[in-house]
Amino acid sequence: MKRAAVFAAAGALALALLPMVAPAYYATLMIPFFGYAIALLGFNLLFGYTGLLSFGHAMFLAVGAYGSALLAGVFGCKSFELVLLGVVCIGMAAALPIGFLCVRHTGIFFGMLTLAFGMLFYSFLFKFYHLTGGDSGMRIPRMDILGLELAQYSKIELLAGPFYYYCLALLIITALLMWRIVHSPFGLHLRAVRDNARKAEYLGVHVHRLRLAAFVISAAFGAAGGAILGFRIGLADPELVYWTHSGQLVFMTVLGGFSNFFGPIVGALAFTLLQDQLQSLTQYWRFILGATLAVVVIGFPAGIAGVLDLWPRFSARVKA
Amino acid sequence: MSAFANILIGGVFHAAVLFLVAAGLQLVFGVQKIINLACGSFYALGAYFGVTFIAYATQFGLSPWLIFPGLVVAGLLLAVVGPPIERMLRSVYGRDESFQLLLTFALVLMFQDVFRFVWGANPRSLDNAYLIYGTINTRDFGVPVYNLLVIAAAITTAATLGALLTRTNFGRIVRATAENRAMAEALGVDVRRIYSVVFTLGAALGTTAGALIVPTAAASLNMAIEFVVEAFAVVVIGGLGSMRGALVGSLIVGLMRAFAIVLYPEFEVLAIYVVVIAVLLLRPAGLFGKPVA
Amino acid sequence: MAAILGAGESMSVLLETRRLSKNFGEFRALDDVSIAVSAGELVSIIGPNGAGKTTLVNLLTGLLRPTAGEVLFMGRSIAGMGPVTLADHGLARSFQLIAVFPQLTVEDTIATALISRQGKRWHLLSRLASDEDIAARAREVAKMFGLAERLATAAAALSQGEKKLLDVASAFALNPQVILLDEPTSGVSTADKHTIMQILLAAGRQAGVKAIVLVEHDMDLVAAYSSRIVALSAGKMLADLPPRQFFSDAQLIAAVVGKQRQH
């Protein structure tokens, strides 16, 4: 417990110092990192802790982005906090029926179902293009944070300054929340379901309800992350929910290490930085990313967290 | 009536191409229990290579009439990518499904840039070269002969695969390995070789399908990623691991798509996913798959 | 050895089957079996492999639905009750093939049962590590089963015997009224078998278990600890007798065990 606290504190400190020592470019680059980190904390609750691999998780990020566009753009809500709350509720509401249908299955079928729902959402975005702008997406206007308009900041200054720290705070809060959840009795039951669902049932665990709960919670985190992504880009785009974006989420999680609480955060960071560096080096950055993923899957299934032997591993022995 | 027939032929043509890729997917899943997300990449590879191959061949005097066999050859030549990729996938055979999926996803990413590197970002096509074969014109509608050739090729492939799997020793060995790898190995089957051969066969089916499509459509970067979704729909509807499922599933998806494009364009993609979800929920094994525990 | 578990109360029937049958397609796994387990009893189910013992246990614990007949727990039919409901009502089981949570520690495994028992399933925000009730009880249960040294070991790293014990221990942690144990001593050396049985009985008393149903192959154990023996063969019940009567019937033994018991 102590080591985790030290590691987290060091990480938070490093992140806090970043805008002061690095150019604004990097600070703005980190905003999507915050969004993905929060979304992946939720995703890994489903994957690492409950053992369900969703290939459609990006749909909740899209809910966050499109929800922001709807609440802030269409309904004119200026408060980011309210929008955040709103998209989290929408995400959870959407996750209930979808999750209810999906968690009756596991393994490949769960993956296929979630992929199908994700693509269904994708095609909805195109079908209802009057509402959603189809290919062009929906605009997400700038919102007030903590009630402050901060009009004196340009978008870039806002992103590299106040909004950066705002997101850092959000990440810390959501991480604390997730930490509590996974270390609760509920969290233990999730891991029991992951390891042996039948035995878990016989020990009084409501397997389906639990999986559904994990699904809904992960959707909430996903929507929150999506709202941050949307704020940064200023646009909600259908590509957000394409199956390859869901694949990217899995990539980031495995890259960081799905058997470790901080793995997803590390993975989001590594991916963001790696992608940025690669893009400036070569136009064939996708190839290198793909090769990296292959290397991780084949050689380092425990991800970066495993390589660095980061503590805490929430399983006594890493499962590949 | 003519419009209906046109749509029908178009749908069957698309189904033929889908079937070739789906058959490859089913083979690989049936034996190695891997869902190959890179099937779309094989398809695109075949398409791109087909364009280049024919372009070069025509320069060296290939008669335009030989485009069809030429493309088949091009597709089959690409089977060489099978063994090395299978070798790479070998490291995740025993492991969690998630890792297998992820490795094939890594392949998708890598292939995207391979395409970009070799063929550039713009689509490549053979400029409607299929027209060389002319069309069969009846009173009501016209059918491009090329489409019929492809459909015939798919039917031949289906029949050959069927015979291969049910009537030959090789086929028996493949089915035995698919059923129970450990036992097959204990009985002296070189399982590794079987895996390699099956995967290569699956790859060849995918690349050939892609090659065959280029006279009628362009090879593009998006192809690889978009096709996966349709192929996956076929496999779900037909049932994982089933050849009959690949056949029936391709027809269903191909025809649905053809009719939807014309009649309800906005519903086109929607309809397929709704059907996929319905199948997964009501009958996860699909039409011909093994029942799910 | 009538009142094994010191029930000290009236012999009420806790778990019973009435004309229970189960078919798997054409195959009749269980045919018209009626047994009743009352408070204070340890009922052993014996029979050759394929006789239907595990099928019976699966039916008794709601994993399978009967083709005919019914299963009653505390007087109520269990049809439609899932394992979780049954666990809440006081019916627990262990498994023939070892069922553990590979990545969870011994303490975690027992805690899983305790969380259900103590109604803390939906506590999302409380710290499990600081829950003294659960920690203390988990230590107690582990100690009873000789796993106190292994509290922090992941289940996958335990020996086969220890895994078996963990499976059984976690079932006992539910404080069930009736517990079904499917070959709890298989894979354990003969010397340890009696130790295990003693542990099971002590654990049962401590946890307030009122009746035990045991599927066993070892006739010495069965003879020593059962209040009643139910013998199955090819899906049919051949006998339902106290040990003394059972073992004095040579024909019966031959039919079930396949050889004369050595005295």
Q: Do A195 and C103 touch (CB under 8 A)?
A: yes
From the list A183, A184, A203, the residue facing C87 with the nearest CB is A203
Which residue's entry shows tokens 């909430």? Answer: A220
Amino acid identity of A142?
Answer: R
The Cα C185–Cα C146 span in angstroms is 14
> Which tens digits make up the pLDDT trace of B107-132?
999 999 999 999 988 888 887 777 77
Supply angle C-alpha A171, B106, B110, rounded to 5: 115
Q: Do C171 and A192 touch (CB under 8 A)?
A: no
Chain C contact present for A180, CB below 8 A: yes
What is the average pLDDT score of chain B? 86
Q: Which neighbouring-strand residues pair with C21? A: C68
pLDDT at B179: 84
Q: Do C128 and A319 touch (CB under 8 A)?
A: no
The Cα C222–Cα C88 span in angstroms is 29
Residue C214 clears pLDDT 60, i.e. is over it: yes
Which residue's entry shows tokens 């090879």? Answer: B219
**pTM for this structure?**
0.90
Backbone angles phi, psi at A2, to 5 degrees: -60, -50
A94-129 burial, b at 16+ Cβ within 10 Å, e below that, comes to bbeebbebbbbbbebbbbbbbbbbbbbbbbbbbbee
pLDDT band at residue C257 using 50, 70 and 90 as cut-offs = low
The Cα B233–Cα B143 span in angstroms is 27
Put the strands of the sheet holding C228-233 in their side by side order.
Answer: C91-93, C178-182, C211-215, C42-46, C228-233, C236-241
Backbone angles phi, psi at C33, to 5 degrees: -100, 125
Torsion of CA A63, A64, A70, A75, to 10 degrees: 140
Supply angle C-alpha B235, B237, B241, rounded to 5: 40
Which two tokens mark B222?
């998006």
Chain A contact present for C128, CB below 8 A: yes
Amino acid identity of C4?
Answer: I
Amino acid identity of A190?
Answer: L
Residue B162 clears pLDDT 50, i.e. is over it: yes
> Which tens digits make up the pLDDT trace of B27-78?
998 888 888 999 999 999 999 999 999 888 888 887 777 888 888 998 999 9
Interface test with A, best of B104, B277, B279, B290 (most A CBs within 10 A): B277
Residues of A in contact with B103 (CB under 8 A): 293-294, 297-298
For chain C, how far is it from start to end, CA to CA, in angstroms? 20
Question: Taking Cα atoms as reference points, which of A237, A171, A217 lies closest to residue A12?
Answer: A171
Structural domain spans, chain B: 2-282
pLDDT at B293: 45
> Which tens digits make up the pLDDT trace of A20-70?
888 888 888 999 999 999 999 999 999 999 999 999 999 999 999 999 999
Question: Burial, C55: exposed, middle or buried (Cβ in 10 Å; 0-12, 13-18, 19+)?
Answer: buried
The Cα A234–Cα A141 span in angstroms is 6
Nearest CA in chain C to A217: C124
Residues of B in contact with A247 (CB under 8 A): 37, 102, 105, 108
Question: Taking Cα atoms as reference points, which of A33, A23, A22 lies closest to residue A255?
Answer: A33
pLDDT at A316: 38
pLDDT at B64: 76
Chain B contact present for A254, CB below 8 A: yes
Which residue's entry shows tokens 């009893």? Answer: C41
HSE at residue A146, side-chain half, CA atoms within 13 A, is: 8
For chain A, how far is it from start to end, CA to CA, in angstroms? 24
Residue C3 clears pLDDT 50, i.e. is over it: no
The Cα B226–Cα B206 span in angstroms is 14
> Which tens digits make up the pLDDT trace of B200-222?
999 999 999 999 988 888 899 98
User: Which SS3 state, helix, strand or coil, does residue B135 take?
Assistant: strand
Q: How many CB pairs under 8 A join A and C?
A: 117
User: Which SS3 state, helix, strand or coil, does residue B22 take?
Assistant: helix
Cα B284 to its chain centre, rounded Å, is 22
The DSSP code sequence of B219-260 is B-HHHHHHHHHHHHHHHHHH-TT-HHHHHHHHHHHHHHHHHH
Do A28 and A100 form a contact (C-beta atoms < 8 A)?
A: no
Percent of chain B past pLDDT 90, that is, above it, reads 34
Backbone angles phi, psi at C20, to 5 degrees: -80, 130
The DSSP code sequence of chain C is ---TT---S---EEEEEEEEEEEETTEEEEEEE--EEETT-EEEEE-STTSSHHHHHHHHTTSS--SEEEEEETTEE-TT--HHHHHHHTEEE--SS----TTSBHHHHHHHHHHHHTT-TT--SS-GGG-HHHHHHHHHHHHHTT-GGGTTSBGGGS-HHHHHHHHHHHHHTT--SEEEEESTTTTS-HHHHHHHHHHHHHHHHHHT--EEEEE---HHHHHHH-SEEEEEETTEEEEEE-HHHHHT-HHHHHHHHSSPPP-
Give how far Cα C12 sits from Cα of B273, C78, C87, C172, Å.
Answer: 56, 17, 20, 21
Question: Burial, C79: exposed, middle or buried (Cβ in 10 Å; 0-12, 13-18, 19+)?
Answer: exposed
Residue C1 clears pLDDT 60, i.e. is over it: no
pLDDT at A1: 58
> Which tens digits make up the pLDDT trace of C87-104?
999 999 988 888 899 999
Q: Do C154 and A317 touch (CB under 8 A)?
A: yes
Chain C contact present for A172, CB below 8 A: no
Do C174 and C116 form a contact (C-beta atoms < 8 A)?
A: yes
Instruction: Return the number of other C-beta atoms located less than 10 Å from residue C202's C-beta.
Output: 12
Do the chains A and B touch each other, judged by at least 3 C-beta pairs below 8 angstroms? yes
The Cα C125–Cα A9 span in angstroms is 21
Which two tokens mark C20?
């229970």
Nearest CA in chain B to A121: B270
The Cα B254–Cα B63 span in angstroms is 31
Q: Which residues, 6 or more positions from B48, have their beta carbon under 8 angstroms from its beta carbon?
A: B115, B118, B119, B124, B210, B219
Angle subtended by helix axes B2-32 and B39-59, to nearest 10: 120
Interface test with B, best of A50, A112, A242 (most B CBs within 10 A): A112
Chain A contact present for C99, CB below 8 A: yes
The Cα A111–Cα A115 span in angstroms is 6
Residue B270 clears pLDDT 90, i.e. is over it: no
The Cα A95–Cα A213 span in angstroms is 9
Looking at B115-156, which runs of residues are DSSP E strands?
135-137, 142-144
What's domain C13-257's architecture?
Answer: 3-Layer(aba) Sandwich (3.40)
Q: Do B106 and A287 touch (CB under 8 A)?
A: no
Residue B291 clears pLDDT 50, i.e. is over it: yes
Residue numbers of chain A with a pLDDT score lower than 70 = 1, 309-320
The Cα A189–Cα A206 span in angstroms is 9
pLDDT at C91: 92
Please compute Rg for chain A using Cα positions.
Answer: 19
The mean pLDDT of C1-22, rounded to a whole number, is 70
Chain B contact present for A32, CB below 8 A: no
The alpha carbon of residue A33 is apart from the nearest alpha carbon of chain B, in Å, by 21
The alpha carbon of residue A126 is apart from the nearest alpha carbon of chain C, in Å, by 38
Structural domain spans, chain A: 2-242
Residue C218 clears pLDDT 80, i.e. is over it: yes
Instruction: Return the number of other C-beta atoms located less than 10 Å from residue B142's C-beta.
Output: 14
